[in-house]
Structure 1
Amino acid sequence: MRADRPMHQLKDQQDLRRVRAADPDFSGTLAKGLMILQSFVRDPRAHANSEFADRLGLPRPTVSRLCRSLQALGFLDHDERLDRYFIGPAAVALGYPYVINTPLLPQLRPAMQSMADRFEGAVSVGVTMDLDVVYVETCAHEQGTLKRPGVGAVRGIVETAMGRAWLAQLPAAERNRFLARAKRERTDEYARSSEGLKASLANHGKRGFAINMGDAGLGVLAVGVASNIRYGPRRLLFNCAVPGYRAKSADLVKTIGPALVQLVNMADRQVGLR
């Protein structure tokens, strides 16, 4: 399919028209239903039909039919008292096959948990999805971090250490195109992260890992490594996040980063032995 924007980043009716003009076989009705579901990724609260219609630029009767269909299939739940829709359990079940088939996760969990306990933080695995990283597993110390990401959590690539590690392994031209688009479409996120992002990319070659010095918010520091493990077309990305009050920036460089590199190297070797 040729389109100006990947399907999972369609924002409204205008985007749909552009995609359908480029690909007559593209299913607009299916895309509209998925766009309603994806509204909950950025804004997980309950929504009224009118909110979906306004946000997506769709006619309210169309939204009503789509929501009723999604409710019948279990992807939405409806609260009659509030007259609002919640994300339904079928959406959770749909992600389960992806998580359980993620390569090596059962074998890696003990090492991830050990590292999380050692540094009193959280060790996560994620994959890229357009401008974001989606978390597929997290092992956390019992007190964890202030922003422990659960399975299915979405964070911007430019503001996460694992996302920056993924960027560092891209060819320069491809990375520059990505960054230009991120700056254009995620203006606030890019502005908040740009200085830390540039420093992390500049030092990745000599360190072997990427760094986030807290620009993602709440004083959480993190290191990230891109593995060689493929899940379909995507690499598994690893992240170790620690609260800033428990660690210093020097700890990321001297101790936590190298420990994460060691964990990822172990995982890469297991794939090589298969």
Structure 2
Amino acid sequence: MKDHDDLRRVREEDPYFAGTLAKGLLILQTFVSDPRAHANSEFAAKLGLSRPTVSRLCKSLRALGFLDHDERLDRYFIGPAAVALGYPYVINTPMLATLRPAMQELADRIEGAVSVGVTMDLDVVYLETCSHEEGTLKRPGVGAVRGIVETAMGRAWLAQLDADERRTFLARTERERPEEHARCSEGVRESLAQYARRGFSVNLGDAGFGVLAVGVAARLRYGPRRLLFNCAVPGFRTRKTQLLESIGPQLVQLVGAADRQSGLR
């Protein structure tokens, strides 16, 4: 997340950059990593903004429905307009209506979860998840955010970058999220080394959620972003060999079918 100093530098480099708008959006973005209610003082401390500035921005966002305010607690919650704003993005995801039955079928077959998402800065945003009804994997749901290096789908995206872009991205992750980078670096290296041969990336639980996963980057795009697919199963009842020999190839087959249906091969 950027702070006030970052915004100032961007504004100096680009005179058309709307700093006030960016500050308001950063307040909303605070809830992505910390969804609880926040006081003005917390926004000010996290973003490096003055209390009066935060107060004005929060009142404006509240008037538009993007924030709700609890008078008793004197804290702000994310508002319903923020949910409504994301809805058009989700419903316009290419091929999603066509793919949903196949995603659900695969989730039931492996007793896990199949998700689709896109990258956003250092993260992936989940746009849909189909879960096995009797499984334990009900999350992440629509709008959930996870680090790119933490997820199999994020690692699949990394595998599509050229070497220079990948080095730049990983250096930034190491600089801005050192703990996440250290925890996942070995898994990222393994996935990148094997992606071309396997056709999918893997996560063997190093994200810390007790979940094993495979990921595939589709050729299919949503605007400038590739659609990314993730297939996750509980680590306590899935062997690595099953992940590599069965689940991974099944996800590759699903994504390949999606690419072909969209006219991409």
TM-score interval, smaller chain: over 0.9
Letter of the aligned partner of 1:212 in structure 2?
N
Once the two structures are TM-superposed, the CA of residue 169 in structure 1 deviates from its matched residue by 1.1
Give the secondary-structure state (helix, strand or coil) at the position aligned to 1:245.
helix
Cα deviation 1:225-268 (Å, max 9, x = unaligned): 00000110000000000001221111110000000000000000
Pairwise mapping of residues 94-133 of structure 1 onto structure 2 (< 5 A)?
Answer: 94-133=85-124
Give the secondary-structure state (helix, strand or coil) at the position aligned to 1:45.
coil
Cα deviation 1:184-231 (Å, max 9, x = unaligned): 111010011011111111111110000000011231000000000011
Letter of the aligned partner of 1:73 in structure 2?
L
User: Kindly, what percent of the aligned residue pairs are identical?
Assistant: 77
Pairwise mapping of residues 174-253 of structure 1 onto structure 2 (< 5 A)?
Answer: 174-253=165-244
2:256 paired residue number: 265
Give the secondary-structure state (helix, strand or coil) at the position aligned to 1:155.
strand
Aligned partner of 1:137 among 128, 139, 151: 128
Pairwise mapping of residues 11-90 of structure 1 onto structure 2 (< 5 A)?
Answer: 11-90=2-81
Give the secondary-structure state (helix, strand or coil) at the position aligned to 1:123.
strand
Cα deviation 1:65-117 (Å, max 9, x = unaligned): 10011001000000011000000000000000000000000000000000000
Give the secondary-structure state (helix, strand or coil) at the position aligned to 2:65.
coil
Give the secondary-structure state (helix, strand or coil) at the position aligned to 1:204.
helix
Letter of the aligned partner of 2:40 in structure 1?
N
Superposition TM-score, scaled by structure 2 size: 0.98
**Where in structure 2 are there 5+ consecutive unaligned residues?**
none
Superposition TM-score, scaled by structure 1 size: 0.95
Runs of 4+ in 1 over 6 A off after TM superposition: none
Q: CA RMSD in A?
A: 1.2
**Number of residue pairs aligned between Structure 1 and Structure 2:** 265
Q: Is the 8 A contact 2:131 2:137 kept in 1?
A: no
Letter of the aligned partner of 2:31 in structure 1?
F
Letter of the aligned partner of 1:159 in structure 2?
E
**Where in structure 1 are there 5+ consecutive unaligned residues?**
1-8
Q: Is the 8 A contact 1:196 1:213 kept in 2?
A: yes
Give the secondary-structure state (helix, strand or coil) at the position aligned to 1:58.
coil
Looking at structure 2, the residues matched to 153 and 47 of structure 1 have their Cα atoms a distance apart, in angstroms, of: 19
Cα deviation 1:143-176 (Å, max 9, x = unaligned): 3345720100000000100000000111111111
Q: Is the 8 A contact 1:158 1:164 kept in 2?
A: yes
Letter of the aligned partner of 2:7 in structure 1?
L
Looking at structure 1, the residues matched to 134 and 40 of structure 2 have their Cα atoms a distance apart, in angstroms, of: 39
Q: Is the 8 A contact 2:116 2:129 kept in 1?
A: yes
1:4 paired residue number: none
Looking at structure 1, the residues matched to 196 and 222 of structure 2 have their Cα atoms a distance apart, in angstroms, of: 24
Looking at structure 1, the residues matched to 136 and 162 of structure 2 have their Cα atoms a distance apart, in angstroms, of: 33
